[in-house]
Amino acid sequence: MNTPATQQSTGRQAGLGRIIIAVYGIFAISSTARAGYQMLTKFGEAPLAYTLSAVAAVIYIVATIALASHKPGSWRLSLIALLIELVGVIVVGILSFALPQDFAHPAVWSHFGQGYGYIPLVLPLVGLWWLFRHREPNPAR
């Protein structure tokens, strides 16, 4: 029988899920700190890149909280956050090559997350794969 305690230890927050949540947490903290510092001290030098880094930080925060949550609707919120992240990484990655003058200072997602070892590109793919392996039986609508 699947009790709440069993679900907590075997659900999407266990095993690889814990690692995914931890990596999102690290990115949430590091990108928030970096974007905050950049926006407070150098915003005029690269407003687009620094604003996009701040947007990425917010998405990492939301993804971390949603992935770690057991509340109804958290699976769907996780899905939305990871999809927005993936689209963001792809769009910003393309734009950073197409409009290099606008990305003179790198953002978290510029060049598909090159400055972060391409983890920003791979992380939402792994996260989405994990989410779909641990889909809620009746997601909150």
Tens-place pLDDT, residues 75-123: 999 999 999 999 999 999 999 999 898 888 888 899 999 989 999 999 9
25 residue type, one letter? G
- On whether the CB atoms of residues 11 and 118 are closer than 8 A, the answer is no
CA distances from 104 to 74, 76, 86 (A): 37, 35, 22
- Mark out the alpha helices in the chain (DSSP H runs): 4-10, 16-41, 47-68, 74-98, 119-133
Residue 141 pLDDT: 46
Question: 126, exposed or middle or buried, with CB in 10 Å at 0-12, 13-18, 19+?
Answer: middle
Tokens 């791979």 -> residue: 122
